[in-house]
Amino acid sequence: MALDEIKIGGLGASRRRVEDNRFIRGKGNYIDDIALPGMLHMEILRSPLAHARIRSIDVSAAWAIPGVRMVLTGEMLAARNLAWMPTLSYDTQAVLATDKVRFQGQEVACVVADDPYIAKDGCEAIVVDYEPLPPIVNPSQAKAPDAPLIRDDKTGQDSNVVFDWEVGDREGTDRAFAGADVVSAIEMHYPRSHPSPIEACGSIADFNRATSKLTVYMTTQAPHIIRAAVALVAELPEHMIRIVSPDLGGGFGNKVPVYPGYVVSILASILLECPVKWIEDKSGNLISTGFGRDIYLKGEMALRSDGRMLGVRMHTDSDHGAFFSDAQPSKFKIGLMHSAFSCYDIPTAHLTAQGVYTNKAPGGVAYRCSFRVTEAMYFQERMVQAAAADLGMDQAEFRRINLVRDDDFPHRTPWGFLTDSGQYQKCLDLGLEAIGYEDFLAQKEEARQRGRLLGIGISTMTEPLGAGNSREYDILGIKMFDSAELKVHMTGKALLRTGAKTQGQGHETTWAQIVAHELGIPAEDVLVEEGDTDTAPFGMGTYASRSTPVAGAAVAMVSRKIRAKARKIAAHLLEVSEEDIEWELGRFSVRGAPDRGVTIQECAIAAYSNMPDGMEPGLENNAYYDPPNLTWPFACYIATVEVDPETGVWDVLRVVAVDDCGVRINPMIVEGQIMGGLTEAYAMANMQFITFDEDGNCIGSNYMDYLLPTAWETPGFELHEVVTPCPHHPIGAKGIGECATVGGPAAFVNAVIDAIGDAGVRNIDMPLLPDRVYEAITQGHDISGAPPVKTEP
Amino acid sequence: MYPSRFRYEAPSTVAEAIGLLAAADGEAKILAGGQSLIPMMKLRFAAPAMIVDINGIGGLNYHRADGDGTYRIGALCRHADLEKSASLGDHQPTIAAAAPVVADPLVRTRGTLVGSVCHADPQGDWASVMVSLEGAIVAQGPNGQRSIPVDDLIDGPFQTVLAADEIAVEAVVPAARGTRAGGYLKLERRVGDFATVGVAVSVEMSGDSVAKAGIGLTGVGPATINASGAAAALVGTSLEADAVDAAAQLAAEAAQPRSDHRGSADYKRHVVATFVRRIGAQIQRSEQKAA
């Protein structure tokens, strides 16, 4: 009899997360839990100024403190050719500043001491003489003719422009606009935010002079890439480098880049020949590590009076901070911005993009999004709402007219991506029905008569998740595939390792479910390990919602290789030819004689005790998976709000989410991902942003200023699903981790704009703080840019 | 987080604590709830040479009404004690309204009203509440106790007139001559955020007219603001809309807000006026209900 797949924790089982057992008992093993014998502690001295020339650094008082073992400066690193490091976007980034500091919080010196208190005292004792330079905090300042040159370290860099880039059909788009009945234009800013995982970054470098082996425990989402980078930058042999990424307290893209703290801790360990631990504090994390967003849009849509979209133009100005260190694996300078409008049937589009340096923290750009997809979909859905208003058309109907239809797949998007599956209209209809669209519109009108402001916002989008394929996506030339290695022990229990790295997504639970689905081995019999480069197969790590699309596919493929070998063993055990063997979950049987069979566990023991003549013993294998395409989940998010016209405070009434991420492996985990993403979407719209004053001081350097939502204000979410399997993924799954963060913000902003529509307001840039909403209502004008933070004397 | 080095003392009596403070010559800080002090030490904004932890001193965690209606809140009475107090609402409606909106549940479990007032953060809720009630702090030093009205206690941002060897042992709200009514409204971007604007209004009603009134403003000036002119405009009225509106305008004028990432100065003044009006309307509604 066939196994009950749900009972063994296979596909579709909302199995409890196995990792939570240790997390909720305080038995996790995070970077700061690790202590090695003889370990020293490192602290970073950061720049208080956004832009300044370093006249001198006096470290003598730090050396004089008992317990201080080493003080490192940029000058010392320069002597070893380590003062600068390459970034993932083919730029350079200062490890410790030598000539200038270029953002507030930049790493200037490091102190290694017996304990972290002494290290901190040592940093306070260092005297740096700065000559302040004028700071640049936004693209328009960066491009001003008399702007000071931030990157005067780079030969040939004579302005603050990082890149100019374009994609799409300029002439075709011009023609579409020339023939348009209506052109809808809007300008927007997506403010800077920070992923802010609850655990900041850290490393313990342990160089053993006797074995010449370097072990680095490190908070990284991509340990194998780090190993390769260390081998290349530090010129150490790759087989003598071991990167271990322990339990991670969140990542959200923040733990993809290489940070100066990692590099200096490695150098200090090599120089001191003992383990050196660096644990970043929360403020250090917020002011210096990979941020998200910070980009301006000029968008235009060409429309026919009947509501059809004819073409789209977008221009973005992005603020990259002091170093271009975007961690994104595409050849496209502005990431996947041109995945905007992929869910709409639009003939032509053109995008121009310019990036600039500013005196702000560099790099990252991912915050739970695939390389600018969050900004793309926010801009898209705000432009869609504005266009519907310009046409005088209902915002739901406008979407319905233009969404790609089910029979149009595969569909070429306006910028050339190929989407392969979806039921967009069905998702929209389900969302509208769930929220009670028509009833709400009536309710809104009735409330308006009584002076109350209700609003409804919709966001529909598909996004590209799961890089690669390897043709188009690579990191420093390394292709974006992923891997899995499965060892089935003789008792039928199994060890699975992948090149991904879980940081809260639940891989230890989900991967075992894929094995259970493919082999019938109960999920609880599968141990999942990731993060140690000495044991895990090579992989590109976890970000961009790529684990299930790529590593998850590799898990299915390696399981199938195991099954193919087990089939041969089964034929041997059952004494029939392989062609006469049939498979049902967990068991092989003889065609026509279903009572004669062997379980996968019986095949496992036979692989070690009774294999066929000539067969290699054992039951283990690996698989490298290079996906043929990205996966394209679809989402429809709808929010309703009430705005208090007297204060501008807005409250969320309801949130409906319809997600189609294909086949769901563990529905509970999927729902958790969606709820977490919607929480962050709500936060982006409402409160969570990093801004800078005119002196370049970071406003948002701690949790008093950088607000993450708590359970108290986070609204409830009503989740619905549609399942359109991914046609090219082995089990039909699509990425989901980032959908709600990507598609959610526009739903909230659209709802607030809808509520105050009578005021003649077209746009309020996020965050929709009460004072900004109040100003828009009472003054009847748009609110643009980052919130003003001018501090009066 | 790694603060600078400090000496830690945990006295068991107020007298012992005063002795430690006197010996520390201004380099000591008192630790009660620690909800402001500890974050400042962790960021090394504060680096006291000595911490005098008063949590081991018995008998300071009370809140109670005397027979004559005087209300007393001990130095170790936590925000959560007030939030959960069964009797508070009848005696002290403004305090009862403020207690559940101070910070977040975690902070409320540890933080103290007296500590918050003495921290003198212009964005602290309790000082405004106490100012609206003409409350005082009882300070105890080597020479005994003295009572300092909260309005006089705070002489600048994070500054009080407390001497280095004095401990604030309790907060006192004088007995009301009429029926107390009042409220506290706060605009914050998120639970636990500092107030963008907070407004405390306390009145004593004699029949249907206001015999006495106080208005305190949070987060809209370099220190807690006593909007006494606005409060005076309520006295003798029945909190009719026109009267409350006049007081609301005066309160907005008394505010001295700055534009920052929480909102513009004009917006904050507008919210001050809006909140005075809303509390006025709340009081009037509940008075009508009672009648």
DSSP string, A349-413: EEEEEEEE--SS---EE-SSSSSSHHHHHHHHHHHHHHHHHHHT--HHHHHHHHBPPGGG-SEE-
The answer to whether A712 contacts B259, with C-beta atoms less than 8 Å apart, is no
Q: What is the pLDDT of residues A304-328, one digit of tens each?
A: 999 999 999 999 999 999 999 988 8
Residue B2 in any domain: the answer is no
- Nearest chain A alpha carbon to B105: A712
Place of tokens 């000071």: A148
Chain A residues near residue B187 by CB distance under 8 angstroms: 647, 649, 770
Do A468-625 and A292-410+418-467+629-779 have the same topology in CATH?
yes
Structural domain that includes position B35:
7-53
Q: What is the CATH number of the domain that holds B26?
A: 3.30.43.10
The structural domain count of chain B equals: 3
C-beta atoms of A770 and B263 within 8 A: yes
Asked if B274 and A646 come within 8 Å (Cβ–Cβ), the reply is yes
> Tokens 């012992």 sit at which residue?
B16
Whether residue B58 lies inside any domain: the answer is no
Which H or E run includes B149? Answer: strand B144-149
Sign of torsion, CA A759 A764 A767 A772?
Answer: negative
Same domain, B188 and B227: yes
Query: Cβ separation of A771 and B264 shorter than 8 Å?
Result: yes
pLDDT value for B288: 78
Read off the tokens for A681.
């979407």
Q: Report the CATH number at residue B244.
A: 3.30.390.50
Same domain, B203 and B112: no
Other C-beta atoms closer than 10 Å to the C-beta of B175 total 14
Task: Write out the CATH class of domain A292-410+418-467+629-779.
Answer: alpha beta
Considering the domain architecture, whether residues B69 and B36 belong to the same structural domain is answered as no
Interface residue ranges in chain B relative to chain A, Cβ cutoff 8 Å:
1-5, 39, 43-44, 104, 187, 189-194, 196, 258-264, 267-268, 270-271, 274
Question: Does B49 lie in the same domain as B33?
Answer: yes
Distance (Å) from the alpha carbon of B187 to chain A's nearest alpha carbon: 9
Q: How far apart are CA B228 and CA B201, in angstroms?
A: 11
Architecture of domain A468-625: 2-Layer Sandwich (3.30)
Phi and psi angles of residue A676, each rounded to the nearest 5 degrees, phi first: -60, -40
Please answer whether residues A487 and A458 qualify as being in contact, where contact means their C-beta atoms are separated by less than 8 angstroms. no
- B150 close to B131: Cβ distance less than 8 angstroms: yes
DSSP A48: S
**How far apart are alpha carbons B92 and B179 in whole angstroms?**
10
> Cβ contact (<8 Å) for A771 and B263?
yes
Torsions phi, psi of A773, nearest 5? -65, -40
Region B35-44: mean pLDDT is 94
SS3 A576: coil
> In this complex, do A713 and B44 lie within 8 Å of one another by their Cβ atoms?
no
Indicate if A171 belongs to the active site: no
A738 in catalytic set: yes
Same domain, B139 and B184: no
Residues B34, B15 share a domain: yes
Task: Name the domain boundary from B173, B203, B227.
Answer: B173
Both structure tokens of A486? 């499965």
pTM (2 decimals)? 0.96
From chain A, the residues in CB contact with B189 under 8 A are 686-687, 707, 769-770
A368 counts as catalytic? yes
Query: A111 forms bridges with which residues in the sheet?
Result: A43, A71
Please indicate, yes or no, whether residues B183 and B168 belong to a single structural domain of this protein: no
In this structure, the answer to whether residues B266 and B168 fall within a common structural domain is no
**Residue of chain B whose Cα is closest to the Cα of A122:** B4
> Taking CB atoms and an 8 Å limit, are B189 and A647 in contact across chains?
no
What pLDDT is recorded for position A353? 98
- Nearest chain A residue to B43 by CA distance is A283
Final residue before a domain boundary, out of B140, B173, B206: B173
Q: Where are the domains of chain A?
A: 292-410+418-467+629-779, 468-625
Q: Is residue B236 part of a domain?
A: yes
Contact between A707 and B43 using a beta-carbon 8 Å cutoff? no
Q: Do B2 and A117 touch (CB under 8 A)?
A: yes
ipTM for the whole complex: 0.95
Question: Is B76 among the domain residues?
Answer: yes
3 state SS for A728-742: CCCCCECCCCCHHHH
Nearest to B261 among A712, A775, A789 (CB): A789
Q: Do A687 and B190 touch (CB under 8 A)?
A: yes
Among B118, B142, B173, the domain-final residue is B173
Beta carbon pairs, A and B, within 8 Å: 71
Tokens 């407004």 belong to which residue? B199
Number of H helices, E strands in chain B: 12, 14
Return the structure tokens found at A523: 């999920």
Q: Could you give the CA distance from residue A595 to residue A1 in angstroms, rounded to a whole number?
A: 9
User: Nearest-CA residue of chain A relative to B195?
Assistant: A704
Residues B167 and B68 in one domain: yes
Please give the residue of chain A at the shortest CA–CA distance from B101.
A712
To which residue do tokens 């330079």 refer? A133
Same domain as B167, residue B196:
no
The Cα of B42 is separated from the nearest Cα of chain A by a number of Å equal to 10
What stretch of H or E contains A642?
Answer: strand A634-643
Question: Do residues B183 and B165 share a domain?
Answer: no
Q: Is B1 domain-assigned?
A: no
CA of A151 to nearest chain B CA: how many angstroms apart? 30
B20 and B70 inside one domain: no
Residue segments in chain A with a per-residue pLDDT below the cut of 70: 1, 788-793
The length of chain B, given as a count of residues: 291
Query: Residue A290 has which token pair?
Result: 């990979």
Q: Which of A559, A576, A570, A619 is nearest to A599 (CA)?
A: A570
Tell me: cis bond preceding A260? Omega within 30 of 0 counts: no
Query: Does B55 score more than 70 pLDDT?
Result: yes
Among chain B residues, CA nearest to A710: B191
Candidate list A110, A369, A603, A661, residue with the active-site label: A369
Contact A174, A347 (CB under 8 A): no
Residue A505 is among the residues annotated as catalytic for this protein: no
**Chain A nearest C-alpha distance from B218 (Å):** 16
Dist CA A114 CA B44 (whole Å): 20
